[in-house]
Structure 1
């Protein structure tokens, strides 16, 4: 099934390109200086610091021309691994507004608490978080479930919850509404613009949700295998079962028992593809696929946009994800 183009993304190429070039061309300690002169010095615009790409996307799309957005996570850096330099910590303290997602970047969480900026918004507080593990949808009787849970704990959000809320367009839309409201409060002079932009973003995400719902309604299988458990919310939203090689952490190694189990699952559920992602090595995924005679493809958790991403922004990459899932699951 072909993926139809959704509502076009708002064109903010100028500020996004400048921000990404500045961050990719400097060391972490220089990021604050190169991302538009440092937070808090934005020529009358609201100085916004976003923790990583999904937060940056919302800040730029909703803030529009009234914000100057910088991001703490450079393109190509796996967000879980981020460590902040001294000037990045200072950048946080100079910000007018901070948008982050608690539970996915421990170093950022600590630095934001220390910064004490009044207008600090945790995206996790704008929707309901849930617990997801190696799989969502049904129980395969994993006798190593406790072992997987221990490996994942350090990378989970509050109370062991899954922080990957942006991969569910419905939850991401809830976050977008909260971000819009918080920007209105932080900068009431431009409230009307923030409301208008929020409506546009929510409409775009609603269209994306409809495309996923229609595209994945009738498939040959409902099970997909991926590198780590980033897609629990997406799987639950569209009636799929996510089976991960590792767990919530993209860096954790699967046990021999888990690999054997995946081989059994693939045969039972007629899985033909093992998905890997753009910011983490594909070695394990390709090994598992070769061992089971399966194909490989990209399912992007959209933790950052690089030249390897199958799309220029969140919506385009999600459309590519939908196309990959339709193909792998045998959409009719």
Structure 2
């Protein structure tokens, strides 16, 4: 039998260990005295944090290092969702579970949904599929949802979040306006950096693992060729692979881009067959624990993406 003081010590040690493992992950749980915001994936977490500052408690539903395309909420998440002040999500068919959740909300529910893709100029999924020569059965939505990868869109999404925070907490409007203005300026600078760095480069074609970069390409005059479709687990056919190899040869592509949250096996195999190399291009669907701990965010990862794009398009 364990004596009481030893038992208390064991409990304290265990809770301490649990606290440590949670470091770097967004706080889970409603916090009194703050605007509680639950977001559906990483970029919205970062935007809300930057604009809300100390007035908000932001919780990211998708754990660090998890790819959000096929993630769905657990019962604890649903409980938190109904108790939050705001639920910030992308829309455009990105979160497959959202419509069911919104449909289940009672008319007098406390939580206010905020759809950040509303008002954006979305690209039709059919355009992407047609462009890449294959139909993407895994992604059944009407739109390509990866809008946040254009800094111009990111700024518009951040504005939607700012307006929602002002509405939820008018007492702190001045802070939200100030934080948004500073962040919007950072995003505008990022857009300028991309424009100036990519415009003069001789190549405009990139090969990526899944077609997440349609908005980035459209913004800066690039063309993406994806191994897989709009969903990162859509399998390519042997015809797709032949077409990608032909595209690589035709455009003198030197790198295939893969992403950190999805297996790089296929990209590496294709690169090896084509005698070229691989590089990371992060679609910012989520950051891993190490990136969060080292203070990476949307802007810093987008700057790293730009560095690798410059390398690939020389």
**Range class of TM-score, shorter chain:** 0.7 to 0.9
- Residue number in structure 2 paired with 1:21: 22
Cα 1:327/1:199, change in 2 over 3 Å: same
Cα 1:196/1:20, change in 2 over 3 Å: farther
SS in 2 for 1:48: strand
Mapped to 1, the partners of 2:253 and 2:126 lie a distance apart of 19
Mapped to 1, the partners of 2:296 and 2:213 lie a distance apart of 20
User: In the alignment, is the contact (CA less than 8 A) between 2:207 and 2:256 conserved in 1?
Assistant: yes
- Residue number in structure 2 paired with 1:35: 27
Counterparts of residues 284-303 of structure 1 (less than 5 Å): 284-303=266-285
- What is the TM-score of this pair, normalised by structure 1? 0.81
Mapped to 2, the partners of 1:264 and 1:191 lie a distance apart of 54
- Residue number in structure 1 paired with 2:305: 321
Deviations 1:49-97 (A, max 9, x none): 1111011111111111111111110001110121221111011000111
* Residue 306 of structure 1: how far off its partner (Å): 1.3
Say yes or no: does 1:74 pair with 2:63: yes
- Residue number in structure 2 paired with 1:173: 155
Aligned pair partner of 1:246 in 221, 224, 228: 228
* Residue 259 of structure 1: how far off its partner (Å): 0.4
Mapped to 2, the partners of 1:112 and 1:78 lie a distance apart of 22
* Residue 106 of structure 1: how far off its partner (Å): 1.1
- Residue number in structure 2 paired with 1:124: 117
Deviations 1:140-169 (A, max 9, x none): 8x3xx3xx243432xx3xxx1111111000
Cα 1:86/1:323, change in 2 over 3 Å: same
Mapped to 2, the partners of 1:23 and 1:54 lie a distance apart of 16
Mapped to 1, the partners of 2:21 and 2:218 lie a distance apart of 33
SS in 2 for 1:106: coil
Say yes or no: does 1:272 pair with 2:254: yes
Mapped to 2, the partners of 1:180 and 1:19 lie a distance apart of 32
Say yes or no: does 1:65 pair with 2:49: no
User: In the alignment, is the contact (CA less than 8 A) between 1:98 and 1:121 conserved in 2?
Assistant: yes
Counterparts of residues 93-172 of structure 1 (less than 5 Å): 93-102=82-91, 103-116=93-106, 117=109, 118-132=111-125, 142=133, 145=134, 148-153=135-140, 156=141, 160-172=142-154
Q: How many residues align?
A: 290
Q: Calculate the aligned-residue CA RMSD, in Å.
A: 2.4
Mapped to 1, the partners of 2:151 and 2:103 lie a distance apart of 28
- Runs of 5+ consecutive residues of structure 2 not aligned to the other structure: 1-18
SS in 2 for 1:49: strand
Cα 1:20/1:236, change in 2 over 3 Å: farther
* Residue 299 of structure 1: how far off its partner (Å): 0.2
User: In the alignment, is the contact (CA less than 8 A) between 1:23 and 1:74 conserved in 2?
Assistant: no
- Runs of 5+ consecutive residues of structure 1 not aligned to the other structure: 1-17, 25-33
* Residue 304 of structure 1: how far off its partner (Å): 1.1
- Residue number in structure 2 paired with 1:195: 177
Rg (Cα) greater in structure = 2
SS in 1 for 2:72: coil
- Residue number in structure 2 paired with 1:28: none
- What is the TM-score of this pair, normalised by structure 2? 0.86
Structure 1 window deviating more from structure 2 (126-135 vs 196-205): it is: 126-135
